[in-house]
Amino acid sequence: MTFSIAARCPETGMVGVAVSTALLCVGQLCPFPRAGVGAISTQSFVNPYLGLHGLDYLASGMDAVAVRDRLAADDEGRALRQFTVVDRNGGSAAYSGVECVPWFGHLTGDGYAVAGNMLTGEDVVAAMARTYEATAGQSFPERLVLALEAGQAAGGDKRGRQSAALKVMETEDYPLIDIRVDDDPDPVVELRRIWGLYNQGFNDVMRMMPTKTHPAGTFDLEAIRTFLPD
């Protein structure tokens, strides 16, 4: 039903997930990144507890492979599940249950994992992996969006298109980026549009927010004036 990439940036330590599907509100239940811990994407008859429990296991020091094995072993619905795991060191792992709807499958690489089910074919995940690897040097969130676009261009979800999401964590307990396209006839295109708007100044606003090291924040009224009413 879904195609996604979970990844960690070796330069910045950011972790994130980009995902799209032919159902409503994919950003609500599928992407689970946590700053300093890792990222999980859970899909195919989604079980959100794979994301919640998996992040706790990663936080305890388990690596991606160990977390994958633990989650699959504990889930009675494992035959219908699909999920990917990336740990704080860039280790990656993925699981696709034998009863996922074809085409389904996954690929893993250094610092990332891609997976999909009910897709038009294997080209979807292959294009995502190839694009993510080929865009090293670009910003981490941009690489995630490019990978998602590549998956859509290769065919995407064979049922159609409805929602997409981009969620990225850096150092704080709240997201640096949390863009959700909950219902759109071309959600990956709409995600790209909103991501473009984010980069026209809202990214600067996010950098002013209170942080663990600067609890008061660093708000600059002039810098955010374009977002205020006249």
CATH number, domain with residue 113:
3.60.20.10
Q: Quote the domain boundaries for residue 83.
A: 2-203
Q: Are 140 and 12 in contact (CB under 8 A)?
A: yes
Please report whether residue 165 resides in a domain. Answer: yes
Residue 212 included in any domain? no
The pLDDT, as a whole number, for residue 116 is 98
**Cα dihedral 221, 222, 225, 226 sign:** negative
- Please name the amino acid found at residue 100: C
Number of domains the chain contains: 1
The answer as to whether 208 is a domain residue is no
Nearest to 167 by CA among 158, 179, 156: 179
Residue 101 domain-assigned (yes or no): yes
Distance CA 8, CA 15 (A): 4
84 falls within a domain: yes
Kindly report the number of other CB atoms within 10 A of residue 72's CB atom: 17
- Domain assignment present for residue 219? The answer is no
Q: Does residue 227 belong to any structural domain of this protein?
A: no
What stretches of 60-181 show up as alpha helix (H) in DSSP?
64-74, 123-134, 140-153
For residues 69 and 94, give the distance between their C-alpha atoms in angstroms, rounded to a whole number.
9
Low-confidence ranges of the chain (pLDDT < 70): 221, 223-230
**Cis omega (within 30 of 0) for bond into 103:** yes
The model's pTM: 0.95
The string of pLDDT tens digits covering residues 81-111 is 999 999 999 999 999 999 999 999 999 999 9
Let me know if residue 121 belongs to a domain.
Answer: yes
